Structure formats: C-alpha cells, structure tokens
Amino acid sequence: MLVIFLIHITTIEDHRLKKILYVALSIRLLLMVIEVYIYSDLPYLTARDAGRFQRRAVAFYDQYSLYELLMPPYPSGSGLYSYMMATIYAFFGTTENSIIRSVNILAGVFVVYNSYKISQTLWTRNVAVQNALILAIFPLLAVYAQDAIRESFVVYFLTLGILYYVYWSHQKRPYYLIISVFGFALSTALHMGALMALLALLVYYFWRAINSLFTGKVYSLINTIVVIGIVGAGIFYLNTTGWGLGDIGGEGAIGEFGMEELIERRGHGETRGRAGYLEGMLANNPLDIIWQTPVRVAYFLFTPFPWMMNSLWDLVGLFDSLLYLLVFWGIYKSLPVLRQDPEKMALLFMLIGMLIIFAWGVSNYGTAMRHRAKIIPLAICLAPHIYPLRRVVYNQLKKKWQIIYLLKLLRN
C-alpha cells in the first residue's frame, strides 16, 4: 500500500510512468510470492548472501533495542544492510524476511522511477518511457529487487546520485551536486562499487580542467573546479571514515595499496565453483592490468558463453548475457551522440569505472549476473540507439526471408 501511495503521488501528471511503475511493482510482487511461498531454490536466482544477511540481522535484533539501532555509529558494507534489516524488524516486531523483501521492492520500483527521470533529462520523454519499461521487466533486475539482499538499495542510491548529477549538469545548482555525492556515498556505504563511479567522475573532470586551461573556457573551468571540490570532499570523507571500504582495507584504504596489491586482494576471491572463470589469470605487473582488463570486462558482462554451459539452468545466464550484448551494442551505436555532450561522457566514464571494478572483483558468472544488474540502469540510459536497432534487425531478417523465398520459387 505504501508503494502504491508513493507511485500515485509522484506520477500524478504522468500517467504513462504510473502504469510502468505499476508493472514493475506487479512483477516484483509476483516474484516475491513465488520465491517465498512456492519455490525458493532456483539456481542463480537466489543470492547466497541472503542467509548471511538474515542471520546477522536477527543477531542485531536480539542484541539491540530500537533506540540503540537508530543511534550512530552505523556499520558499513554488508553489515549496514543487516543493520537496516534489524531496524525494520524492531519497528514491526518480526524477523520474517518477507517484510524486508517488501521494502526492497519499494526501492526497486523507484530505481525504475529514477532511471525514467535520468533518461527524460538526457534524451526525450519517449526514450524515457521505453527505458523505464525495459527496466520494469528486465528479468534479473526484477528478481534481485525482491530478494533479501542489498541490491535494491545499492542501485537505488546509485541512480539517485546519477539523477542529481544530471540535474546539476542542467541547472548548475550546487545543492544538486551535494545530493548527488550523498547518493553515491550511501550506495558506497552498502557496496563499494559506486565509489569507482565517483573516482571515474573525478578523473573525467580533471581531464576537463586541463582541457579548459588550454582552450581558455573560464566558465567551464569554474564549474569543473566546483565538481572536483565537492566530489573530492565526498571521497575524502569516505576514505577518512572507512565507510563502505571494508573490502579493500577500511579507513585510509584509498592510496594505501598499490594497484597490483589492490587487484590481488580483490581480483582472485571469486574464482570458485562450477561457474568460475579465468582461474589462472593473475596480474603480476601494470602491463598485465592493461591487457587483462578488457578480457575481464567481456567475461563479466557476457558470461556464460555457450561453451561454458553445463546444465539447463545455464540457459538463464545465457539469456541474461544476450540482453547485455544488445544493450552494449546500443551504447556502441550511440557513441557519436555521447561524445558530443560532456554530461553524457561523464556518465559513460562512471559506467566504465564500475565495469572495471566489478570485472576485477568477480570471476564467477553466477556472481557476475548479480553484480552486473547494478550497472544495467545506467547502461540503458546511455543506449538510446538500442530501439532503432530492433528495426534494423527486423529489416535484415525480412530481407533474408525474402531471398530464401525467392530461391525456393526459382528452384520450383
């Protein structure tokens, strides 16, 4: 009822968006009912982390009162999500994770809302409607949005940060940029993948600052300095407190490790099980990092490849990888348009930054399927040419069918 109420008040003047959000809600609720009450052990569709989060949340719930849970300091990383679960349990007096799934659905539905607003600001309303509809029905994004894991909130805060960056880029109001960094920080607090988006944004604006100095564009330089200052302050705070950086060493971790040591710490922890890949690929020097990164990104995005399939359930992964192939083909076709707009290039830098960090942190395609769902809203927002592609493919098939039909007639 809360989700329905929020959908209603946020889409009063946009009935097309309202219908799409109801579609997103219905799909996620249906998946929740299936997983909770009918069958809850589908391969790749049930995150192994869910049980760990649940056990830790129950321990927090048993140990702390509601007042204590609401008082800082708060943990970060996966501990923060369990802390959030325990707080919800304290409000509702239950440790049944269906309530957590329901709250995750709320966040998952508004990921679609944020993506609609991003696309509407970047492109047109028609593209925004199509993007929102794709995300509403995107299979594994919907599956993970209702599971008792942190994905929904990681992606919600990430898209919130991106949305307010886009708003700032159009209106140049500093508080938009502050809200944007806050969104990225909350996403990083739950999972450090969003940190790479901030770092990539910083790199992009350093490059713009150098370019502005050579071209003499003073106004552009001022805006660039504002972004570097606010984003840099956000990264400094995260690094000083260690909030969300537990996976790379916590407080002061940024800059403490060399690149090779950092990759060694994070790049080889997931190569296990039947779905493991690139088991023998290790980075021993900077040159290895350069040539291995494209390979790891390709495996992260598009596995399982057909030759890696060992069971019927791998068809789920293959279908998922084909969807990513289509989306990234759309980004490739859109590059000429993206290059013309600094705002869109900044988002592309963010996407590339997150692809790199996830590609080095994952070497198991079951895990990769879950992590790449974090970047699909941003990827779809950068792929307006994914829609004309459908017509191109259809026309090619139509010509092929016509040629085959003509050959049959000639033979007869």
341 and 296 within one domain: yes
Q: Is 244 left (phi over 0), alpha (psi -120 to 50) or beta?
A: left
pTM: 0.86
pLDDT in tens, 14-59: 999 999 999 999 999 999 988 888 877 766 566 677 888 888 999 9
CA geometry: angle at 345 spanning 370 and 365, to 5°? 15
| 8 A C-beta contact, residue 337 and residue 394 | no
Residue 354 lies in a domain: yes
Tokens 């204590």, located at residue: 68
Q: How far apart are CA 151 and CA 169, in angstroms?
A: 27
> In this structure, what token pair is assigned to residue 66?
């509601």
| 8 A C-beta contact, residue 346 and residue 204 | yes
282 and 381 within one domain: yes
397 and 318 within one domain: yes
Q: Which of 256, 289, 306 finishes a domain?
A: 256
| Listed range (43-47, 248-252, 324-328, 354-358) with the worst mean pLDDT | 248-252
Number of domains observed in the structure of the chain: 2
Q: Is 242 left (phi over 0), alpha (psi -120 to 50) or beta?
A: left
Report how far Cα 264 is from the mean position of its chain's Cα atoms: 24
Residue 234 lies in a domain: yes
Our CA dihedral for 268, 270, 272, 274, rounded to 10 degrees, sits at: -130
Residue 377 lies in a domain: yes
| 8 A C-beta contact, residue 193 and residue 357 | yes
Q: How far apart are CA 136 and CA 365, in angstroms?
A: 23
Residue 46 lies in a domain: no
Q: How far apart are CA 151 and CA 181, in angstroms?
A: 19
393 and 293 within one domain: yes
Q: How far apart are CA 374 and CA 157, in angstroms?
A: 11
How far is CA 50 from each of CA 10, 101, 148, 369, rounded to the nearest angstrom?
Answer: 31, 11, 5, 16
pLDDT in tens, 138-160: 999 999 998 888 999 999 999 99
pLDDT in tens, 75-132: 877 788 999 999 999 988 888 888 899 999 999 999 999 999 999 999 888 889 989 9
Give the mean pLDDT of 197-221. Answer: 74
409 and 297 within one domain: yes
Q: Mean pLDDT, the chain, as a whole number? A: 82
177 and 276 within one domain: no
**By CB neighbour count within 10 A (0-12 exposed, 13-18 middle, 19+ buried), where does 57 fall?**
buried
Q: Which of 229, 256, 283 finishes a domain?
A: 256
Range of the domain at 231: 161-256
398 and 276 within one domain: yes
Residue 305 lies in a domain: yes
Q: Which of 256, 272, 306 finishes a domain?
A: 256
Q: What is the identity of the amino acid at 410?
A: L
Residue 390 lies in a domain: yes
